[in-house]
Amino acid sequence: METRPNGLIIGRRRVPLGVIAIIYEARPNVTVDAAVLCLKSGNACILRGGKEAIRSNRAAVELMRGALESAGLPADCISLVQDTSHESANELMHLTAYVDVLIPRGGANLIRSVAKNASVPVIRTGEGVCHVYIDSEADLDMGAKILYNAKCSRPSVCNAAECVLVAEDIAADFFQKAIPLLKTKNVELRCDKAALALVGGDGIAAQESDWDAEYDDYILAVHVVKNTAEAIDFINAHGTGHSEAIITKNYFTAQHFLDAVDAAAVYVNASTRFTDGGEFGLGAEIGISTQKMHARGPMGLEELTSCKYVIYGEGQIRE
């Protein structure tokens, strides 16, 4: 609270967003995670999962609604859309009179479809075309280890690397260190001409569509760049604003990369796989926002709220 010269006492208070709808695919853990986060932040939620997990979703929601009733809270704080058809999802996207915000969780196609078709305000989450850039002044052993982790530890998640950019000065030496590691997981390398000339039979020619692909698999796009400026331009052209990493020993190059790359999380000498509410010390998350409003990055409890101003007066009027 702050007291103004005219005697008004002004402060800000966190308030729930209201009714949050979540459209997601075949991950029943999202049912519990989303419902609990919405409840704890004071929001009601409408859950619409995929047909693959509808029985698990029903069971989880029944348990949570029963627990709410036992605690003397309204069970309708948590609702599940039983109809898993595309029509039900489309209807939910247009309930502007009832839904305050819509959060899609899932693959790129789902998120883009919701963002394109919804009339309810949408927070985009999870699209993860993430890059690792190996600078000409990188520790190549570190770079190979980080790339392996970013691609192979769990390739189906949104913070996994989908493309490696390598400075041309050190590309040959880096590939000698990185490819043996990637081959242990049979990673398919889709390379531009410069990279293919260096990796030979360990790669195949990339198509233009590979630079924008979220594979969610043991597939990695490989692109050789002249310098950091070209790497930054490539990332900003093809990335989804999720997580990007540079491997370098040069402090000033790292700072330029941090400033110039447009993403929710930008790393220096670390794996993109750390973009997660728990790893960031934020606790559970409802998703990783890749937009700039209303939230960006891992969305925990605070990001599921907004603010209101509260003002105390003693008869003040504006002259």
Question: DSSP assignment of 11-40, as one string?
Answer: EEEEEE--EEEEEE-S-THHHHHHHHHHHH
232 close to 253: Cβ distance less than 8 angstroms:
no
pLDDT for 110: 86
How far is the C-alpha of 239 from the C-alpha of 262, rounded, in Å? 9
Topology of the domain comprising 130-274: Aldehyde Dehydrogenase; Chain A, domain 2 (3.40.309)
pLDDT for 182: 98
pLDDT for 297: 94
How far is the C-alpha of 246 from the C-alpha of 223, rounded, in Å? 14
229 close to 214: Cβ distance less than 8 angstroms:
no
Cα-Cα end-to-end distance for the chain:
23
Q: Where are the domains of the chain?
A: 8-125+286-310, 130-274
273 close to 130: Cβ distance less than 8 angstroms:
no
Residue of 225, 245, 242 lying closest to 234 (CA atoms): 225
How far is the C-alpha of 5 from the C-alpha of 156, rounded, in Å? 56
Q: Which CATH number fits domain 8-125+286-310: 3.40.630.30, 3.20.20.70, 3.40.720.10, 3.40.605.10?
A: 3.40.605.10
pLDDT for 87: 92
For residue 158, give every residue at least 6 positions away whose Cβ sits within 8 Å of its Cβ, in sequence order, or none. 126, 127, 128, 130, 214, 242, 288
142 close to 173: Cβ distance less than 8 angstroms:
no
Query: pTM of the full predicted structure?
Result: 0.89
Q: What are the mean pLDDT values of the chain's consecutive 10-residue runs (319 residues total)?
A: 96 97 91 96 96 96 97 96 93 96 87 91 90 98 98 95 98 98 97 95 95 95 98 97 98 98 98 95 90 90 96 95
Tokens of 309: 């101003």
* Residue at 181: amino acid letter: L
pLDDT for 125: 87
182 close to 124: Cβ distance less than 8 angstroms:
no
- pLDDT, one tens digit per residue, over 34-55 is 999 999 999 999 999 999 999 9
Cα–Cα–Cα angle for 174, 191, 256, rounded to 5 degrees: 60
